[in-house]
A and B are shown apart, each in its own frame.
Chain A
Amino acid sequence: MLLAVVAIAVFLLVEVLPLFWPDGASFPLEALWSSPDVSGEPEYRWLPHRLDDAAVPQASLAPLLWGTLEAAAWALVVAIPLALGAAAHSSLYMSPGLRARLKPTLELMEAMPSVVLGFIAGLALGPWVERHLAQSLSIVVVLPAAVVLLALGYRWLPDRLKAALTLRWAALWLIPCLLLLVWLAMSVAPMWEGWWFDGDLRLWVEESWGLDVQARNALIVGLAMGFAVIPGIYALAEDALSDVPRELAEGAQAMGATRWQTLTRVMLPVALPGVFSAIMIGAGRAVGETMIVLMASGNSALMTASPLDGLRSLASSIAIELPEAAPGGSHYRLLLLAALALFAFTFLVNTLAEVVRARLKRRFTRRKGDA
């Protein structure tokens, strides 16, 4: 197995190295980052098709790196709160019966082929959000706010209702509530759009911030990729939390801590390395994900911070361009360099995560041995 890892690494290295050989293809190293434009200012452009006939090669990997990181960052922004929230809820609050069913359900979520997610994000969700910007924003704002209100208002509910609607089963009975809220959020959206944004949020964003809303943008990619990495982060984080010895959680609760206090003050500090490694592995997956970015991002190699613009990532560039690049040419080697970068990054991240996890496991077993 080690052999396979080594084989991949060696192959990529061997194919990439000629790029840096002085007598090989004459490819200036600085061009990997940026190339001067007409006036001498550095420009970050990815135009590999003109590698051979252009005087100055414009094959900066910077926009691709930027796109990759931007997409992964948005994916994590979506996935981390949801996945960690779900892990916390299912390891502390949820009824064991429900939890035993939830885990495989989220596994199914992970098994969703990325090409389907990309398709839905790029062709169904993207255009919908573009047309219903106000509604989408409304949902994002209303949902968390409403849940907090629900939590604050919960104590005033009649006792009988409280007995039926416990936190233990909240994951289920919140579903219809949330659906209702989504509907509510969507139906009030046109109202506030009219009050504050002259009836057209999209136009307003364009005029006051100068942002053009594209159907396929970084946010959509983030959402779809977040969906793809939630189950992975959830499973590992949940494992890390459940590996915390039971006595600790019980001890804290026997002291009168609420379950949330137990989580934040006792379990989380212990499980933090595990949770961290879960996030790292999620990041690794998001960085290497190809089809979702390919289908939902618009694939324009831009370097803008606007989440409403398109982007192009390393992985999707490889998928699009490699079949057309001549083997042995500069373009081919550049793409292989991109693959090497992806490989090295995920390799480092995963090794780190594995080591952290293994160390955590041993720490608990050792402690048990002492006691």
Chain B
Amino acid sequence: MSIDGELPKRQLAQARLGNRRGAVMEFSAADTCLDIQGLTLAYGGKTALKDLTLRIPRHRVTAFIGPSGCGKSTLLRALNRLHDLNEDVSRHGQIHLDGHDIHDPRVAVAELRRRVGMVFQAPNPFPMSIYDNVAFGLRLQGGLSKRRIDDVVEWALKSAALWDEVKGRLRASAWSLSGGQQQRLVIARTLAVEPEVLLLDEPASALDPISTLKIEELIRTLKPHLTLVLVTHNMQQAARVSDYTAFLHNGELVEYGPTDTLFTHPRLRRTENYITGRMVG
């Protein structure tokens, strides 16, 4: 990460351009993991995202906040092309992952989704054993020996801070776990295929406070190893875990900047109103 003044001129210009509405970002193009350029998404004639441009830094936690229906989840799902599942979605603009356009027809969607993992709001373990859940992604790839899979499953469960709780009952149904455990299992399942980016769509909104804390802790431990993007309703959570925060409203990017700055000195009235709770839903 560099300081504004040290950036070469071109990169600085690029960084400014990348944040038409927000603050000047403090990372270089080389540190950009996801680069969203003028993204507009509409489904069924209704525009969900309007001309969004922002860059998401590598190995940091970026949070998207905003009232319900502001488009933050839509944006998140766009990052691993889950919208391909929907019919009438029209899209303009590009998303680059490490400099490669993810909408390039030569990109295999399945491979993209392997690299950009996603964890959903409600825990969605598959109806199989804990072990099989974690091994799911590995088996999709095929060509891995039994021992190798065992190793990876153990590693993934450890990485997700779940190993100690489940090591004795790997063959039990995943649905027998508690909500918080299920969510960590889902994270472990995603980690097992070694993604570069992890998208988290309100991962703790269905969980109790203790489970939520565990998830947040996990996010912090994972940060040095992969890029995390978090959508959350919970202002405190965003403040606690994220390095950068983007505030979206009505499908537009209102303000984007380092979390500390955004929460303590928001540049815009709208942002301030929202984070202080004067603008609801």
Q: Do chains A and B touch in the complex (CB under 8 A)?
A: yes
A269 interfacial by beta-carbon distance below 8 Å:
yes
A256 interfacial by beta-carbon distance below 8 Å:
yes
Contact A256/B126 with A247-B120, A261-B140, A367-B175 known, Cβ cut-off 8 Å:
no
CA distance A250 to B83 in the complex (A): 10
Min Cβ gap B262→A in Å is 28
Q: What sequence of 0s and 1s flags, for each residue 170-185 of chain B, a beta carbon within 8 Å of any chain A beta carbon?
A: 0000010001001000
CA distance A252 to B139 in the complex (A): 12
| Docked-complex contact B122 and A255, CB < 8 angstroms | no
| Docked-complex contact A254 and B113, CB < 8 angstroms | yes
Min Cβ gap A351→B in Å is 25
Q: Nearest chain-B residue to A97 (Cβ)?
A: B87
Partner of B82 from the list A159, A254, A367, A371 (CB cut-off 8 Å) is A254
Range class of the A interface residue count:
20 to 34
Partner of A254 from the list B118, B139, B179, B182 (CB cut-off 8 Å) is B118
A-B contact count (CB 8 A): 73
| Docked-complex contact A265 and B85, CB < 8 angstroms | no
Min Cβ gap B205→A in Å is 11
A355 interfacial by beta-carbon distance below 8 Å:
no
Q: What sequence of 0s and 1s flags, for each residue 53-94 of chain B, a beta carbon within 8 Å of any chain A beta carbon?
A: 000000000000000000000000000101001011000000
Partner of B85 from the list A250, A258, A270, A367 (CB cut-off 8 Å) is A250
Q: Nearest chain-A residue to B106 (Cβ)?
A: A159
Min Cβ gap B45→A in Å is 14
| Docked-complex contact B110 and A250, CB < 8 angstroms | no
B128 interfacial by beta-carbon distance below 8 Å:
yes
Q: Nearest chain-B residue to A256 (Cβ)?
A: B114
20 contacts between A and B (CB under 8 A): A95-B87, A96-B87, A247-B122, A248-B124, A248-B126, A250-B124, A251-B124, A254-B80, A254-B113, A254-B117, A255-B117, A256-B111, A256-B113, A256-B193, A257-B110, A257-B137, A265-B126, A265-B136, A265-B140, A371-B122
Residues on A lying within 8 angstroms of B by beta carbon are: 95-97, 159, 168, 245, 247-248, 250-258, 261, 265-266, 269-270, 367, 370-371
Residues on B lying within 8 angstroms of A by beta carbon are: 80, 82, 85, 87-88, 105, 110-114, 117-118, 120, 122-124, 126-128, 136-137, 139-140, 175, 179, 182, 186, 189-190, 193, 206
